[in-house]
Amino acid sequence: MTLDPNVFLAIVAMAAATVLTRIAGLVLIRFIAIGPQQKRALEAIPPAVLMAVIAPTALATGPAETLATLATAIAATRLPLLAAVAIGVFVVAIGRAMIGG
């Protein structure tokens, strides 16, 4: 049970950023009206961020990861989160064992 000062600082910084986003919504509705253009930009952020996070793994790491991402995406259209994730983990493990990774 150790606490590295550097890690602690990183956790506090992440917490501060997250608190900011959570309180900002309440502040927003008191002062600002959001138009359709702003709404569309805000709505595009979550999928764009998530895609950016997985893109290097999905497209620039290896065939096992690309295959597993595809399998997870297809599974996600029919199965709940945990089942789709389990399929992705299974496919990447098999893929790495068979084609290296």
Interface contacts to other proteins, rule CB under 8 A: 1-4, 6-26, 28-29, 34, 37, 39-60, 65, 68-69, 72-73, 76-77, 81-82, 84-85, 88-93, 96
Smallest gap from residue 33 Cβ to other proteins (A): 11
Q: Name, in order, each residue with C-beta under 8 angstroms of 83's C-beta and a sequence gap of 6 or more.
A: 75
Q: How far apart are CA 13 and CA 2, in angstroms?
A: 19
Minimum distance, C-beta of residue 46 to other proteins, in the bound complex (Å): 4
Q: What is the rounded end-to-end Cα distance, in angstroms, of the chain? A: 33
Closest CB 89 distance from other proteins, rounded Å: 4
Our CB check for other proteins shows the closer of 34 and 99 to be 34
The set of residues, in sequence order, having a beta carbon less than 8 Å from that of 34 and lying 6+ positions away, is 28, 42
